[in-house]
């Protein structure tokens, strides 16, 4: 085997090893109002990601309705009650709560160590020794890399659930409200309702006028106007007659 073949074989081995093991994923479910969650996140952000370059951390705030389904599914898979903080490593190892103390820190480290290869464990031992020698200098030099290993789950990345409110009530054991019955249809207005009410009270109601085309007087308005004109003409004629009579009487009186 020549030198080029050896180099290619070694390169291929490294590529395959990297593809077979792309790192360790850690998901931390937390609440912004939980002090223990803050302690757990501080340990992960300020220590764990510096010690473990292959660790990928996702933080999920459980209060937004969009994240409650993710949290409930993870708690069910872990067979936990659903308290926070809850940490899941590579989807299988679950850690409920946090100290904060060295025992809790060891629990986090052991959970990650369980998924590392011997080569990765050697890298962790080296970085841990470098950080112990000069913590401030090490964190300054590795800050960009460590921060890149942490991401926050954005609630906007999940479509809004129209039943989010009902899901929260269901998680709390509150039964959903009974659906309201549809309103009864409103009957059409009865034009004879008033007449019936009067009839029930003993008041005699005059018969309704016949409909057009069945004996109704369609020219009643015109006839009333004609009657008014005739009456006015009669009044005027009577007035003229009275004036004529009065003048004639005055003439006879003068002749006498």
Provide the b/e sequence for 69-105 (b: ≥16 CB within 10 Å). Answer: ebbeebbeebebebebbbbbbeeebbbbebeeeeebb
pLDDT of 252: 64
Question: Average pLDDT of 10-35?
Answer: 69
Question: Average pLDDT of 43-51?
Answer: 97
Rounded Cα gap, residues 252 and 249, in angstroms = 5
Mind listing the pLDDT tens digit for each residue in 114-124? 999 999 999 99
pLDDT of 154: 72
% of residues, the chain, pLDDT over 70: 67
For the domain made up of 23-155, give the CATH fold: Glutaredoxin (3.40.30)
Mind listing the pLDDT tens digit for each residue in 189-237? 777 777 676 677 776 656 655 555 444 455 666 667 766 767 777 777 7
- 80 CB-near residues (< 8 Å, 6+ apart): 86, 94, 96
Per-domain boundaries in the chain: 23-155
Supply the mean pLDDT for the chain: 79
**Hunting for tokens 């069945």 — which residue is that?**
214
User: Within 13 Å and on the Cβ side, how many CA atoms surround 102?
Assistant: 0
pLDDT of 40: 96
With a cut of 90, say whether residue 136 has pLDDT above it. yes
Rounded Cα gap, residues 84 and 63, in angstroms = 11
Rounded Cα gap, residues 26 and 90, in angstroms = 6
């Amino acid at each position: 085997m020549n030198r080029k073949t050896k180099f290619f074989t070694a390169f291929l081995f490294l590529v395959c090893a990297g593809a077979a093991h792309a790192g360790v994923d850690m998901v931390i479910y937390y609440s912004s109002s939980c002090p223990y969650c803050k302690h757990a996140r501080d340990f992960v952000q300020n220590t764990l990601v510096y010690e473990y370059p292959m660790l990928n951390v996702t933080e999920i705030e459980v209060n937004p309705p969009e994240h409650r389904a993710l949290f409930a599914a993870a708690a069910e898979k872990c067979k936990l009650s659903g308290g926070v903080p809850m940490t899941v490593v590579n989807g299988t190892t679950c850690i409920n709560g946090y100290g904060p103390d060295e025992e809790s820190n060891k629990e986090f480290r052991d959970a990650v160590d369980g998924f590392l290869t011997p080569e990765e464990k050697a890298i962790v031992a080296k970085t841990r020794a470098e950080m112990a020698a000069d913590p401030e200098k090490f964190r300054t030099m590795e800050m960009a890399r460590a921060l890149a290993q942490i991401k926050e789950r954005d609630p906007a990345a999940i479509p809004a659930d129209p039943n989010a409110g009902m899901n929260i009530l269901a998680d709390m054991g509150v039964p959903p409200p009974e659906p309201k019955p549809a309103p009864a249809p409103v009957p059409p207005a009865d034009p004879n309702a008033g007449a019936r009410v009067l009839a029930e009270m003993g008041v005699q109601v005059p018969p309704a006028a016949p409909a057009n085309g069945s004996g109704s007087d369609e020219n009643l308005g015109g006839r009333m106007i004609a009657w008014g004109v005739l009456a006015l003409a009669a009044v005027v004629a009577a007035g003229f007659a009275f004036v004529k009579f009065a003048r004639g009487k005055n003439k006879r009186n003068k002749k006498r």
